[in-house]
Amino acid sequence: MYFASGALARKIEKLAMETWRKVSLSPSHGYLLMMVLDQPGIQPGSVAGQLQLSPSTVTRLVEKLEEKKLVTRTTDGKVTRIHPTAEGKALYPELELCISQFHEKLDGLVDRTSADHLIRQINQVTDKLPY
């Protein structure tokens, strides 16, 4: 499982990197920005949970998006929220296209039913692991 999952992750990452290259974002940055665009004011903890990333990883991703002027963070007491900027909002159509093209490429390799089944299985195993 260790080597098979690693090989799958590397190949999916390569496919995703090719797709997201046109907007000069990594797949992680692109998906996080899409979440912020779909849920303006989302909290970093929610992002971490939905993307299955550590809070520190989300912080680094958000910082990079802030450097690119695509998101801003606001803090009210202990609550931090992430908001898209005008530049981030302007990328929305291109981001949707990246996601669509990624799924088209993947669908050309693995049928949708098999992919959905595999995703469910991976998530079930991931949820059972203690780390």
Note the pLDDT tens digit of each residue in 47-66: 999 998 999 999 999 999 99
Mean pLDDT across 67-96: 96
pLDDT at 131 over 80: no
- pLDDT value of position 115: 87
44, 62 Cβ separation under 8 angstroms: yes
Give the model's confidence band at 112: pLDDT under 50 very low, under 70 low, under 90 confident, else very high: confident
CA 58 from centre of chain = 10
Look over the chain and give the mean of its residue pLDDT values, rounded to a whole number.
Answer: 94
Q: What is the H or E stretch that residue 71 is in? A: strand 71-76
Domains annotated for the chain, with CATH where assigned, are 2-128 (1.10.10.10)
17, 26 Cβ separation under 8 angstroms: yes
pTM, rounded to two decimals: 0.86
CA dist 119 and 106 (Å) reads 13
- pLDDT value of position 49: 92
